[in-house]
Amino acid sequence: MADQSCSWWDPLDPAFLSDPYPVYRRLRAQGPVLWHDSLGSWVVTGYEPCESILRDWNAFASDFRRVGAEEPEECVSVQTLDPPEHRAVHRLLADAVRAQDAGCLAAEVYHAACQRLRELAARGGDFVADVAMPVSIEATLRLLGVRPDDGDRLVDLSTAVVASMNAGLRPDAEEAGRAARRELSALIARWPRHPADGGVVSYVAAHRNTAAVADSVIGNSLRVLLLAGINSAQRMLGLGLLTVLRDARAYGSLADARDVTPGAAHEFVRLDNPFQAQSRRCTRPIELKGVHMSRGDTVVVLLGSANRDPARFTQPDSFMPERRPNPHLGFGRGTHACLGAPAALGLLRATFAALASCGSRFVLAGAPVFDQNPTLRGLVSLPVTPVDGLADGDRRTQSGTAEIGWVMNPGPGGAPGGSTHGRDGRGHKVAAVESDPPARPLADRAFGVDGDSLMS
């Protein structure tokens, strides 16, 4: 098994968490299916085997109870169930999402983002805290059709659940995550259910009696949608903006029009996506790419690696908005493909349309700070500052440090245009990243076990 071993890889290494893609290249070069001693898991790196696992729910279980594992009641949801139990709750929620007015939601997101960006342009601040997070929360609550009183508490609970997604790597986060799930489920159970009010929650309330789904599963599944919108969506926005800061072609996808095309939106998701990994369990002995797996084995599917696999994508490390086809795994595949993918793409396009049309110019005001989470990639902080009035060649903060600059500047006829990128003294592009995670021992279960995400 020596040739198959990737135990050298530390998923909590700060360098990996700030930029996992060089490690993914090394893993893919080593093989499509590898073994990690500390994780006690198979690690799948290539696009083709990753996609085949996601499609084959019969052989690779999301519901670990199928191989004898215990699952707390608060964790059983549309995300963890496999067919046939999965079908009824998935159909109910998918119908509820499709019943919403996507155009109206996109318009509300656009106006909310414009307001937040105007405030950001007036004083500078943190794109994650000041734009991405509040816009994602507002859009999610609008989609669900609810208005909880304590949005800050929702954020705190969401953070606890996300941290517990890596309980196999950080066992101390598991109990806090379960407590947060229980509190969120109790909160959701108190939400008003009036069909005339619109929204996913009201739709589910009106149709749940015909779905034959347990109340606990419905509540847990609504929690999955809530947490995906609060946390996963804002990560997608933050990573997308960072891509714009670093990539001239990504900037051009905004600078050339006041909208992000569907192709560009999917390319943002493929290139740097929040969902980096998922875990499955083998339900029977099986061979994959010449590797023999046993019933009960854990398999970690590296979505982030699959989306950069050169065997599937031409120039995989480049932003190519014209890429066709673009069968990325950023929203999963098969039975558990993302329920909210259309809503997430609409949120991305509306927010970036606001960025392209706001008429303000921003540059990075400090080092972006990445969450120390190998499963759900995202930024904790992305500080930016307005630079209206600065010459195009002068893109330095008051401290004089080099920056990655992003300029959205009205061109002729009001169309946005113009961009700069930070460079060091030799003219090379530079990108500062802060990372300082606490040292934690690895464990044998990781990567989204008991986690809530957009994947269903």
Higher pLDDT, residue 176 or 35: 35
- CA-CA distance, 189 to 193, in Å (whole number)? 9
pLDDT of residue 102 exceeding 70: yes
pLDDT category of residue 445 using cuts at 50, 70 and 90: very low
Q: Other CB atoms closer than 10 Å to residue 289's CB: what's the count?
A: 13
Please give the pLDDT value at position 193: 58
Q: Other CB atoms closer than 10 Å to residue 30's CB: what's the count?
A: 17
- CA-CA distance, 278 to 299, in Å (whole number)? 8
Please give the pLDDT value at position 178: 85
Q: How far is CA 226 from the centre of its chain?
A: 13
Q: Report in angstroms the alpha-carbon separations of 73 from 70, 77, 178, 185, 447.
A: 9, 9, 10, 11, 20
Higher pLDDT, residue 88 or 253: 88
Secondary structure letter of residue 350 according to DSSP: H
Domain boundaries, the chain: 2-417
Cβ atoms of 329 and 47 closer than 8 Å: yes
At 61 the three-state DSSP class reads strand
Q: Take residue 157 and report the two structure tokens written for it.
A: 């609970």
- CA-CA distance, 196 to 200, in Å (whole number)? 11
pLDDT tens-digit readout, 132-169: 999 999 999 999 998 766 667 888 888 888 888 777 77
- CA-CA distance, 375 to 320, in Å (whole number)? 25
Which residue, 238, 231, 168, is CA-closest to 12?
168
Q: Average pLDDT over the chain, rounded to whole?
A: 82
Structural class in CATH, domain 2-417: mainly alpha
With tokens 């995906």, the residue in question is 228
Cβ atoms of 29 and 294 closer than 8 Å: no
pLDDT category of residue 421 using cuts at 50, 70 and 90: very low
The mean pLDDT of 43-51, rounded to a whole number, is 98
pLDDT category of residue 174 using cuts at 50, 70 and 90: confident
Cβ atoms of 305 and 277 closer than 8 Å: no
Strand partners, 279: 300
Q: How far is CA 397 from the centre of its chain?
A: 30
With tokens 């196999």, the residue in question is 168
